[in-house]
Structure 1
Amino acid sequence: MAPSRDFYDTLGVSRDVSVDDLQRAYRKLARTYHPDVNKDPGAEERFKDISEAYDVLSDPEQRRRYDAFGPDFRQVPPDVDPQTWARARAGAGAGGGRARGGGGGRARRGGGPAEDEYIRSGGFQDIDLESMFGGMFGGRGGGGFGPIPGADQEAEIELAVEEAYTGGRRTVTLSGPDGSRTLDVTIPPGVTDGQRIRLRGQGGRGGDGATDGDLYLVVRLAPHPRYRVNGRDITVTLPLAPWEAALGASVAVDIPGGEAKVRIPPGTPSGRRLRLKGRGLPHPRGRPGDLYAEARIMVPATLSDEERRLFEQLAAVSTFDPRRQP
């Protein structure tokens, strides 16, 4: 049997890697080895290894168990103490480590419980863990570990700002090492960039009848020509005529949910942000974001004779000097 891979080595990261650095490392490797991009014969297998490593290490609970129990963490019952597990493994190695089928093996001692290996001539049954832990393992044939739940998985979904605002149904196609699949997804109103949408039972397949893992869709908001999003707040550019900015006005502005009226105070300068409270991205369980209309004063590209006459008259009587403003 081939030696177990170390998930940290697979992703080229240290054991204390942060969540953000872990994600960056995964994305870089996934882009390099995805079978749709890399046609090297070994790329698909490498991509599967990368995906499995990231699936485990990106989940806090699975990462904790992997750090505690090593590559076989999925077979360890949830109520086993890591120190008890490590002592049992050390004791098994000291007891000779001979497989019942007659084959031999060695226990390698590494940097801790997560890096040690068991004697692998015939699997975990070779060490008789049931007697060591008082029968807590149970399973088939008195020595098995029972069904293995499927791993949680993660993928990204790109949404327009309008989709994130209103929510709704969306059909997504996901490509993976096992092929493509299409899913109908409900987008809740007000999802933000980086938020995860959970699809129960759509992750990795469980073994021996165990439950399947969950799929988490990470929301990424696509760049928008008009809207800039920061958390739940939205900023939109509001073009104004010079007289609207000078005299004040009430103007309509398009927002992701439709249209809103903005009151322009007299003397509004270009760049001023006018706040529409609660008109940003909605929040199903809290305060919605705000919408900011950023004033931008526009001038006509061409003037009629009457417009030119009026502007010239204004220039003659006005004492306003924009270059002398505080």
Structure 2
Amino acid sequence: MDYKDYYKELGVDKSASEADIKKAYRKLVRKYHPDVSKETDADQRTKALNEAYGVLGDAEKRAAYDDLGRQQSAQGGPGAGGGFRPPPDWGAGFESSGVDDNDFFADLFAHVGGRRRANSNFQMQGEDSHAAISIALRDSYHGATRTIVMRVPEADAQGRVVTRERTLEVTIPKGVTEGQQLRMKGQGNPGSGGAPAGDLYLEIRFEQDPRYRVEGRDVFETVPVTPWEAALGGAIDVPTPSGTVSVTVPPESQTGRKLRLKGRGIPASEPGDLYLLLEVVLPPARDDKARALYQTMAREMAFNPRQKLGA
């Protein structure tokens, strides 16, 4: 079987502590998770990271793996003799895995698994898992329920790591912000020997919407207005994530003017504000009547918006 350098896969030294290994794994698995990453090899990288952490994150597996590493080094390093050669007593006292000898991880998993089967009292809580979930901005205002499908690794009856799909119902609480993590207790990776599963952490992402921009708890919404609404002022109705509101446009408003609606941002424990950004939109001059109106304005108003530029 070919030797795999799991320490290199996680970017840690062989002397790394359990906490350092866990930290490195979490950082990389967030980066390459297929539901988040845009990398073309994200799925393969995630599988490789899960495989590496499945060994290095387990004290017993890591010890067996380190034994393999020392033996591999004694044989001249990677590739010596056409691959890694297990020590003569590697299989002594362990059950056969029934897997291909070229599958390094499966063989290692089966080897340690045999040791665990001999010790029926072995228990280990499952690892936490991480994923991202995209929601509409209005879901943060009102709360929602979403169904997600997770791909989770687990060991089959032969000790090989396989991936299965799991469907979960997720409750989106009112006031959730982008980047916030929702904890789903017991929905992470399964434990060993009857130990409880880890937790699932879902990172909130807002779906792209050209009408809105979000900064923390504050929301910015672009609101189109007519030239006469901007020039003369008046009340207008504006649809917002929390519902339609009536606002007053001040006279002589220009594109870019900002109207603040206090407390109408994301309704967190400390609500943010909603900022309406006015955008003056001109009626199209598609017919003779419209063009005549524009020509009258040009004659009667004699307005030069570039005067301050010296033109």
Shorter-chain TM-score range: 0.5 to 0.7
Q: Is the 8 A contact 2:284 2:290 kept in 1?
A: no
Count of aligned residue pairs for this structure pair: 247
In the aligned structure 2, how far is the partner of 1:195 from the partner of 1:151?
20
Q: CA deviation at 1:317?
A: 4.2
Find the partner of 1:200 among 175, 185, 189: 185
Segments of structure 2 that go 5 or more residues without pairing to the other structure are 71-88, 94-115, 154-162
Instruction: Confirm or deny: 8 A CA contact 1:30 1:47 kept in the other structure.
Output: no
1:190 corresponds to? 175
Is the contact between residue 147 and residue 208 of structure 1 (CA under 8 Å) also seen in structure 2? Answer: yes
TM-score (norm 1): 0.61
Give the equivalent residue in structure 2 for 1:237: 222
Q: Secondary structure at the match of 1:270?
A: coil
Which residue of the other structure, out of 242, 254, 259, is the alignment partner of 1:274?
Answer: 259
Counterpart position of 2:83 = none
Cα offset, 1:254, TM superposition: 1.1
* Counterpart check, 1:162 vs 2:134: no
1:52-98 CA-partner distances (Å, limit 9, x unpaired): 55799xxxxxxxxxxxxx6544899xxxxxxxxxxxx9xxxxxxxxx
Contact 2:10 2:25 (8 Å CA) reproduced: no
Match of 2:283 among 267, 280, 300: 300
Range with greater deviation from structure 2 (241-250 or 162-171): 162-171
- Counterpart of 2:6 in structure 1 is 6
Aligned pair partner of 1:149 in 125, 131, 137: 125
Q: CA RMSD in A?
A: 4.2
**Which sits farther off after the overlay, 17-26 or 226-235?**
17-26
**Contact 2:152-2:189 at 8 Å conserved across structures:** no
List per-residue Cα deviations over 1:172-215 (Å, max 9, x = no partner).
Answer: 12234422111111001122222111111111111112111011
Q: Does 1:321 align with 2:297?
A: no
Deviation string 1:236-265 (CA, Å, 9 cap, x unpaired) is 111111111111111111111211222211
Q: Give unmatched runs, 5+ long, in structure 1.
A: 35-42, 57-69, 77-88, 90-104, 109-119, 124-139
- Assess, with a 3 A threshold, how the Cα gap between structure 1 residues 313 and 55 changes in structure 2: closer, same or farther: farther
- Percent identical pairs in the alignment equals 41
Partners of 1:166 and 1:264 in 2: CA distance: 27
Picking from 226, 242, 249, the partner of 2:211 is 226
Which is bigger in relative contact order (C-alpha 8 A, separation at least 6)? 2
Against the structure 1 CA distance between its residues 253 and 179, is the aligned structure 2 distance closer, same or farther, given a 3 Å change threshold?
same
**CA distance in structure 2 between the partners assigned to 1:213 and 1:270 by the alignment:** 51
